[in-house]
């Protein structure tokens, strides 16, 4: 865990962040620290320009992701090493988790998967119907062609 005294950002390695997400006791520590220092900070103006920052370990630019795809808290993540939280973002994520946000996120993902499955089933049924229709259509054309050929042969023989 690292903290920047200038911007009050926080770096957590992957294991520590997972512990905080999974354990209410660790969450209480985060919320307790946030509450005890909440009155001591001057508001920080957020820069509207998106900036990608390097991982403190590997120096590669980190990905910016919306935590749980629906929290509204965008954090910088290095999949191998950890997550950077701007001031108050970790507190916001803990509040999101405690407010049932992870369950909401899971329900949203489950719903999206069900919609995709249904779409695939519909597409498969449409393709199956079309191939059946094409087969019948081709068979009808062949039969019609054979009948025409028979008719022509009969005509020529007569």
pLDDT tens digits for range 51-76: 899 999 999 999 999 999 899 999 99
Please name the residues in contact with 61: beta carbons below 8 A apart, sequence gap of 6 or more.
Answer: 52, 53, 54, 55
Going from the C-alpha of 46 to that of each of 51, 93, 96, 97, the distances in angstroms are: 11, 18, 21, 24
The model's confidence at residue 150, banded by pLDDT at 50, 70 and 90, is confident
Please compute, for residue 39, the number of CA atoms within 13 A of its CA located in the half-sphere on the CB side. Answer: 1
The model's confidence at residue 42, banded by pLDDT at 50, 70 and 90, is very low
User: What pLDDT does 146 receive?
Assistant: 67
Domain boundaries, the chain: 2-99
What is the 8-class DSSP label of residue 125? Answer: H
The backbone torsions φ and ψ at residue 77, rounded to the nearest 5 degrees and listed phi first, read -125, 130
Task: Decide: 57 and 94 in contact? Cβ < 8 Å.
Answer: no
More confident residue, 37 or 103: 103
Tokens representing 127 are: 């393709």
The model's confidence at residue 153, banded by pLDDT at 50, 70 and 90, is confident
Q: What pTM does this model have? A: 0.61
Average pLDDT over residues 120-132: 77
Distance of alpha carbon 68 from alpha carbon 97, whole angstroms: 9
């Amino acid at each position: 865990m690292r903290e920047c005294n200038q911007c009050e950002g926080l770096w957590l390695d992957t294991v520590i962040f997972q512990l905080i997400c999974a354990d209410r006791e660790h969450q209480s520590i985060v919320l307790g620290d946030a509450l005890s220092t909440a009155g001591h900070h001057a508001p920080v103006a957020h820069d509207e320009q998106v900036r990608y920052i390097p991982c403190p370990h590997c120096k590669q630019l980190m990905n910016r992701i919306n935590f749980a795809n629906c929290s509204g808290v965008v954090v910088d993540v290095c999949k191998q090493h950890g997550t950077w939280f701007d001031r108050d973002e970790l507190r916001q994520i803990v509040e999101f988790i405690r407010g049932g946000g992870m369950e909401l996120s899971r329900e949203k993902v489950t719903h999206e998967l069900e919609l995709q499955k249904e779409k695939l089933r519909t597409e498969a049924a449409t393709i199956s119907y079309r191939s059946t229709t094409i087969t019948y259509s081709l068979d009808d054309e062949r039969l019609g062609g054979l009948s025409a050929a028979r008719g022509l042969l009969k005509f020529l023989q007569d």
